[in-house]
Amino acid sequence: MAASTFLLRCWLALVMLSIATVLLAQGRASAWAILLLAVLKAWLITDGFMELRHGPQRWRGLLLAWAAVLALLVGISLSLRS
Amino acid sequence: MCISAEAVVIPRRLPGDLAMWLFMLAELSVFALLIAAFAVTQTLTPQLFADSRQLLDTSTGLAMTLSLLSAGLLAALAQQRVRQAQAGQALGLLLLALLAACGYLGLKLAEYQHLLSLGLGLEYNTFFTLYWILTGFHFLHVLLGMVILAWLAAGCRRRRYGPGNCSGFESGVLYWHMVDLIWVVLFPLVYVLA
């Protein structure tokens, strides 16, 4: 697949996930579902736009973990209050 | 003729300069602390956060997200053109990226103006204190990202970048992607989560 096509597909997926985030919130979906979409978007940016899918595994792991850990923290904090 | 597996393995490469990655790591750590502070404070005053969030417009937040992501796509496409020695096309794409970023800028400034007109400033309540710190800090990063994209565009105009000399260009584009990465976590946290 051409690099430009791949980038366009990443962007399209990011747009769809962003719209889905708002729709899920309007449908009173679980916070975990919304956070999962945020993590997927962060991973698309990391692997697609930042090209870490071809990068060293440690750097890739670090950036993928950044979004996942934060989402987990936010999710747990929301669970604690309810 | 037999070619061993090792001969065709493409080595993993870190785009841009290592210094930029270390800088981004420091930036991401600062934002992680701010996001953690927001999450913890939200646990202590859930009703205040839920009520205050109602005062923000989610569709504006979505429009800002789409502006930033579109600028990210255009910057990434410009990077591809630089690698293919098409600096002229890269320049055009970077100018479009700046235009998309201006969309975010306009929306954010209008939102700030609207909130201030309602008296929802930094000292209104805990939610808005954290809102202004988090989004204001991110806003400053967007401004710096736009300066960097403009700098890269000027470099393309002078044919400074090419297939053998694109590490600096990659570092600049990476900074913009980091701004996007932070925003995709901030957006649900500040605007969406009920």
**Helical axes B46-53 vs B126-157, angle rounded to 10°:** 50
Does residue B45 sit within a domain?
no
Binned at pLDDT 50, 70 and 90, residue B8 comes out as: low
A34/B185 Cβ within 8 A = no
B80/A22 Cβ within 8 A = no
Q: What is the pLDDT of residue A82?
A: 57
Contact residues on chain B for A59, CB-CB shorter than 8 A: 14, 21
Question: Distance between CA A72 and CA B98 in Å, rounded?
Answer: 33
Q: What is the pLDDT of residue B191?
A: 95
Q: Which CATH number characterizes residue B130's domain?
A: 1.20.120.80
Instruction: Give me the residue from B77, B174, B193 closest to A34, CB to CB.
Output: B193
B117 has a pLDDT exceeding 80:
yes
Most B-contacting residue of A36, A51, A54 (CB-CB within 10 A), to test interface: A51
| Residue B136, both tokens | 């204001």
| CA nearest neighbour of B138 among B98, B105, B183 | B183
Q: What is the pLDDT of residue A28?
A: 84
Dmax of chain B from CA atoms?
76
Q: What is the pLDDT of residue B2?
A: 47
Please give the residue that has the higher pLDDT: either B47 or B2. B47
B82 has a pLDDT exceeding 50:
yes
Q: What is the pLDDT of residue A2?
A: 84
Per-domain boundaries in chain A:
3-81
Tens-digit pLDDT profile for residues B54-78? 999 999 999 999 999 999 999 999 9
Tokens 């053998």 sit at which residue?
A: B164
Nearest CA in chain B to A42: B181
Contact residues on chain A for B65, CB-CB shorter than 8 A: 18
Question: Distance between CA A76 and CA B114 in Å, rounded?
Answer: 32
Most A-contacting residue of B171, B185, B187, B190 (CB-CB within 10 A), to test interface: B185
Contact residues on chain A for B62, CB-CB shorter than 8 A: 18-19, 21-22
On average, the pLDDT of chain B sits at 93
Does residue B127 sit within a domain?
yes
Does residue B6 sit within a domain?
no
| Residue A48, both tokens | 């697609």
Q: What is the pLDDT of residue A1?
A: 62
| Contact by Cβ (8 Å): B48, B126 | yes
Does residue B117 sit within a domain?
yes
ipTM, two decimals, is 0.94
Tens-digit pLDDT profile for residues B145-191? 999 999 999 999 999 999 989 999 999 999 999 999 999 999 999 99
Tens-digit pLDDT profile for residues A47-78? 999 999 999 999 999 999 999 999 999 999 88
Structural domain count, chain B? 1
On average, the pLDDT of chain A sits at 93
User: What are the distances in angstroms from CA B36 to CA A34, A64, B27, B189?
Assistant: 17, 17, 14, 11
Does residue B118 sit within a domain?
yes
Does residue B106 sit within a domain?
yes
Does residue B101 sit within a domain?
yes
DSSP-based three-state secondary structure for B165: strand
Most B-contacting residue of A16, A24, A77, A79 (CB-CB within 10 A), to test interface: A77
Q: What is the pLDDT of residue B11?
A: 75
| Distance (Å) from the alpha carbon of A26 to chain B's nearest alpha carbon | 9
Q: What is the pLDDT of residue A78?
A: 87
pTM value?
0.93
| Residue B52, both tokens | 């205050």
Structural domain including B180 reads 55-192
Nearest CA in chain B to A28: B194
